Structure 1
């Protein structure tokens, strides 16, 4: 799908706040309200953009996470799709480099994380699983910063979150019908959850839609405290994700860029940091799964 500058402006606005009203969105991009509504619907129906609520991991009890580099006996694509079926795996890609598959796991504690890793190890076509256990998410476009200031009170709050995870732009009136409350009560509950940091509604966008279709993963071995180096690396605009970790490296991250040259330049800037001892990188060749609303839903 070809996007013009107005489409791109709409996408960027929805990345900041997926529930912007059509009126506000129209004012920001210089369209009429009906025209803004039509363009948003077209973007969603094309599959280029999906607007959804991302619930804070703490609310779902997702306190442990890891990045797995996986090699296979034979073709990797069927294995990647088998891993993508796991609810603990929000992110799965086919990659270049030493390993054929990279996946992220998010689980309710380290015991579940260990079970998920062992499940993947036991898949018949899996040859090697090399995990990096995350200790702190330094930069993450889909992770809310800070802890929630309010709690999920009851099953009605959960139903609201579940509906918004499927469609983050549901109008309050329709959301009210689905959860069985008045429109006013639904609006009050929803705003409480969003303003309190329980969830954030964002536009999930394929990087190529924004002209940033080159994704490169990297891991870093560093000298000295990892946190200090992490802050320097996270300041790079093209570094879209970064986590400190335990395992073969101290940092793992992603470069999202507009060209191979931009990827190369960003990696060179990272290599130039005095505390960086070793850089390993790989290209994400196919995004098999990226969905951060698949965690457990408490009763």
Structure 2
């Protein structure tokens, strides 16, 4: 990827359905040239543009972070966890525990069952869990919870198609769901504007020059007010959740260098209200897919492109 490719991707990360005309104007290319670049990135597998549906709309109200000790090799354990539909995010890590994952379920009893399933997998020695109580920062979700919109059967078909191809033209989308292009456009925009779903570009961070991913867990002082928001304000903190368990906050630093990671972690350590910090490096992104329960043809591993 060259600098223009990276600029194209950054624009699509903000709005995956940005029209080619607007995208061309923003990156300084002709419409055919920018269309060709996007298609090349999609065909190469470096980029996927998909709709990510808000978990609450999918009936998912409980989620958590698990870090896993293993007996023997860690990779088979990570692959086994990645095969679970309730695990949208799985990585191999360098740190105290070699596998980290996010789990999502309909409710807390269901989340407990999934965690028990992980504990019972061959090679799993110990599972440490933090249950999320609030998502503070997430690049894939709207800042606020979805408005009072309940998708009907047609909306769900739209969302299913957009989870496979977020840039599907309205005319093609209309044909697949049996509506007119105008009605399809209106429904799709309503779903996006209400926070039911976002269409975003998924790309490996190293292709954007952000090849260093570091997870962290924070313990706060009892009187720590606003610490989560102060930490989330860092541009290199790409994800942050408040949680219950062995940590009060769990997050991710995405940075361009080891020095940038170090400086970000140091700023977190010295943030008012932070008592302690544990960190680990993500070595291999085994899975990142948020269309839970949506089986993608030909995709056995359900991993990133």
- Secondary structure class of the residue paired with 2:191: helix
Write out the 4+ residue segments of structure 1 that deviate beyond 6 Å after TM superposition: none
1:66 to 49, 59, 64: 64
- Name the residue aligned to 1:129: 127
Structure 2: stretches of 5+ with no match in the other structure:
296-305
Greater Cα offset, 225-234 or 125-134: 225-234
Question: In the TM superposition, what is the alpha-carbon distance from 1:267 to its structure 2 partner?
Answer: 0.8
Question: In the TM superposition, what is the alpha-carbon distance from 1:180 to its structure 2 partner?
Answer: 1.6
Question: In the TM superposition, what is the alpha-carbon distance from 1:147 to its structure 2 partner?
Answer: 2.2
Greater Cα offset, 164-173 or 226-235: 226-235
- Secondary structure class of the residue paired with 1:87: coil
1:197 lines up with 2:195 in the alignment: yes
Task: String of CA shifts for 1:230-258, please: whole Å, max 9, x gaps.
Answer: 11111111111111111111111111010
TM-score scaled by structure 2? 0.94
Contact 1:150-1:197 within 8 A present in 2 as well? no
TM-score scaled by structure 1? 0.95
Contact 1:226-1:251 within 8 A present in 2 as well? no
1:238 to 224, 236, 239: 236
- CA RMSD in angstroms comes to 1.4
- Secondary structure class of the residue paired with 2:283: strand
In structure 2, distance between residues paired with 1:23 and 1:106:
38
1:45 to 37, 43, 46: 43
In structure 1, distance between residues paired with 2:223 and 2:20:
46
- Name the residue aligned to 2:117: 119
- Name the residue aligned to 2:184: 186
- Name the residue aligned to 1:105: 103
- Secondary structure class of the residue paired with 2:56: coil
Contact 1:51-1:201 within 8 A present in 2 as well? yes
Contact 1:93-1:102 within 8 A present in 2 as well? yes
In structure 2, distance between residues paired with 1:148 and 1:135:
17
- Secondary structure class of the residue paired with 2:160: helix
